[in-house]
Amino acid sequence: MRRTRLGYVSVALLAGCSGGSDSSSVPLLAQPTQPATADAIPACARPVEGTDAASPAAVVGGTITGRSDPSFLLVVLGEQRLLFYGPDLPAVPRISGFVSAGNPGGWCSSNDLTTYNGRDRNLAANSESKVYLYTSVTTSPAGITGSLRYPSATSALTGGSLDGAAYDGTARPALSDAKGSWVMTGLDGASADLSIDEVGRITGSDRGCLFSGTVTASNDEGTNVLRVRLRVSMCDWPRLDQPYEGFAVVMPMKTGGARLLLWAQTDNGIDWDYVAGIGSRR
């Protein structure tokens, strides 16, 4: 497997790449690549948590026990899940890293039959680890229990509704929710601007990179998320002018204002690149 390249598209938008599937289509959440081996791999050990059941489409949040970056936002769309973690999401728009996992999924290697189903990319520490993400998710009311099992430790997941946010995952997504100017916060605390107009056009720039694209409202995902298409141009970036597809989640805050979580990726059939960030409306 190719090791994830943890770089930056800009100060504000996180970026990287990973091994991908052999499909030319771009799912909203990419399947974590299984380690390649020339030898036949014996049957993987049954996960100690049991086989992870399929979850409904949802956006939920909560706490990871025993960590310095304990809060998380979990997006479940289809068979894939993306868990962002940070010091206090979504109140503090700062992402420390993310876990991309299949559902149920699972893989092992010939020298370690332990089953894993995802990768944890700790962007702040510039590191990566295999992980088994186990979740049980409900949407009405919003709830989640589960765990993150690493090779050397396991952390519990608890939560449900997004802490401090008036987000309703059962509501139909509305383009008007995303309209406005957003300050996207980077891992180093710096920022860049992103704008979305009344018809869903996205524009933005940072350090020579230009971002353009669209946000559309559709109920096809089964939860309150917007569909995103982006292109990156005018800078040193490996896939300039290729479409990045993904989602945006708008989270109105109970104390006022809103947060925008954005994820978009592209897949060339060999590997995939992503652009992601979280920010606040001006």
- pLDDT-derived band at 27, boundaries 50, 70, 90: very low
What local confidence, expressed as pLDDT, does residue 40 receive? Answer: 56
Residue 7 bridge partners (DSSP): 15
What local confidence, expressed as pLDDT, does residue 234 receive? Answer: 80
Selection from 15-29, 84-98, 99-113, 261-275 with the highest mean pLDDT: 84-98
Query: How far apart, in whole angstroms, are the C-alpha atoms of residue 154 and residue 70?
Result: 13
Express as a percent the part of the chain with pLDDT over 70.
79
pLDDT digits 0-9 by tens, 253-270: 999 999 999 998 887 666
Is 175-281 a CATH 1.10.10 domain?
no
- pLDDT-derived band at 2, boundaries 50, 70, 90: very low
pLDDT digits 0-9 by tens, 188-229: 555 778 999 999 999 998 777 888 999 999 878 889 999 999
**137 and 56 Cβ atoms separated by less than 8 Å:** yes
Question: What residues have CB less than 8 Å from 40, skipping those under 6 apart?
Answer: 110
Closest CA to 76 of 143, 3, 130, 17: 143
Query: How far apart, in whole angstroms, are the C-alpha atoms of residue 31 and residue 282?
Result: 34
| pLDDT above 90 (res 23) | no
Closest CA to 103 of 130, 151, 135, 128: 135
What local confidence, expressed as pLDDT, does residue 166 receive? Answer: 96
pTM: 0.86
Token reading at 215: 């946000």
Check the CA dihedral 177-209-228-122 and report its sign. Answer: negative
* Residue spans in the chain of domains classed CATH 2.40.128: 175-281
Neighbours of 173 (CB within 10 A): 22
Residues in the chain: 282
- Looking at this protein, which amino acid is placed at residue 225? V
Helix (H, G, I), strand (E, B) or coil at 280: strand
What local confidence, expressed as pLDDT, does residue 98 receive? Answer: 92
- Looking at this protein, which amino acid is placed at residue 262? L
Selection from 10-14, 92-96, 231-235 with the highest mean pLDDT: 92-96
- Chain CA centroid to CA 206, Å: 21
**DSSP characters for 47-78?**
PTT-PPPP--SEEEEEEETT-SS-EEEEEEET
What local confidence, expressed as pLDDT, does residue 28 receive? Answer: 43
Residue 268 Rama label (left phi>0; alpha psi -120 to 50; beta): alpha
